[in-house]
Amino acid sequence: DAGVIQSPRHEVTEMGQEVTLRCKPISGHNSLFWYRQTMMRGLELLIYFNNNVPIDDSGMPEDRFSAKMPNASFSTLKIQPSEPRDSAVYFCASSHPGGLAGGSSYNEQFFGPGTRLTVL
Amino acid sequence: DAKTTQPPSMDCAEGRAANLPCNHSTISGNEYVYWYRQIHSQGPQYIIHGLKNNETNEMASLIITEDRKSSTLILPHATLRDTAVYYCIVTRNTNAGKSTFGDGTTLTVKP
């Protein structure tokens, strides 16, 4: 498996422009997570999906941010309009279903390489 | 998720064991301890996890105290490539899979 795939790897845009980040989770994983990482705030969970349904979007900073997961193999994070303070590395991660049944189940997250976003 | 406390930074000599502590005094009975690390400019990488027993894999060992209020991640023979930020996470093992990453410990392995 190629792991979690994110595109683009680098994005430079101007303030006010729309930015779309893309993620392809590992096949068979049913949970998908979007994180943002900055020097000031560290690694922050923005939103996560379970079976393509958004479960918790409390980490999404404001209405300019939106995320979708139209199917099990694709997700997008959109920023419209973008602002310089949105500059960060955005990570996507996916995980197995996990669960409480049995002692060997787990919910290890597999992270993608990230998208470095710069908003000028 | 229970709150975790880690030292902000640690140094270790190459070839020696690196012992990274984590306090999680409010851990619940159904919460697991996970360790991840993040090498510069890469996404975080899973290392190991445990519930109450000590665990070992090809990367590291995890020692959890009997009262489960703290744990130690051990890298038995640290190399320069182990220089990274190490995150200790405590979370229920549920289908949600949500984990909260704190500030972690920056481990610097020195030659």
What is the tens place of the pLDDT at every residue in B17-38? 999 999 999 998 888 899 999 9
Are A56 and B96 an interchain contact pair (Cβ–Cβ within 8 Å)? yes
pLDDT tens, residue by residue, A9-53: 999 999 999 999 999 999 988 889 999 999 888 888 899 898 999
For residues A56 and A40, what is the distance between their CA atoms, to the nearest angstrom? Answer: 23
| Cα distances (angstroms) measured from residue B106 to each of A53, A101, B74 | 35, 35, 14
Instruction: Quote the pLDDT of residue A37.
Output: 93
Contact A113/B46, CB-based, under 8 Å? no
The owner of tokens 């049995």 is A102
Mutation pick from A108, A110, A115, A116 vs chain B, by most beta carbons of B within 10 Å, is: A108
For residues B103 and A40, give the distance between their C-alpha atoms in angstroms, rounded to a whole number.
11
Q: What's the pLDDT at A58?
A: 87
Kindly list the residues from chain B whose CB atom is less than 8 angstroms away from the CB atom of residue A43. Answer: 38, 44, 87, 101
Query: In sequence order, which residues have a C-beta less than 8 Å from that of residue B62 and are 6 or more positions away?
Result: B33, B35, B48, B49, B50, B54, B55, B56, B71, B72, B73, B74
Judged against a pLDDT cut of 50, whether residue B15 lies above it is answered with: yes
pLDDT tens readout for residues B69-100:
999 999 999 999 999 999 998 887 554 456 67
Residue positions counted in chain B: 111
3-state class percentages of chain A: helix first, strand second, coil last, to nearest 5: 0, 50, 45
* pLDDT for the residue A87: 97
Residues of A in contact with B99 (CB under 8 A): 45, 107, 109
- Interface of chain A toward chain B, CB-CB under 8 angstroms: 4, 31, 33, 35, 42-43, 45, 48, 50, 55-56, 91, 93, 95-100, 103, 105-114
Q: Is A53 exposed, middle or buried (0-12, 13-18, 19+ CB in 10 A)?
A: exposed
How far is the C-alpha of B39 from the C-alpha of B45, rounded, in Å?
Answer: 8
pLDDT tens profile B37-73: 999 889 999 999 999 989 999 999 999 999 999 999 9
pLDDT tier for residue A106 given thresholds of 50, 70 and 90: low
Residues of chain B in contact with residue A23, where contact means CB-CB under 8 angstroms, are none
pLDDT for res B79: 97
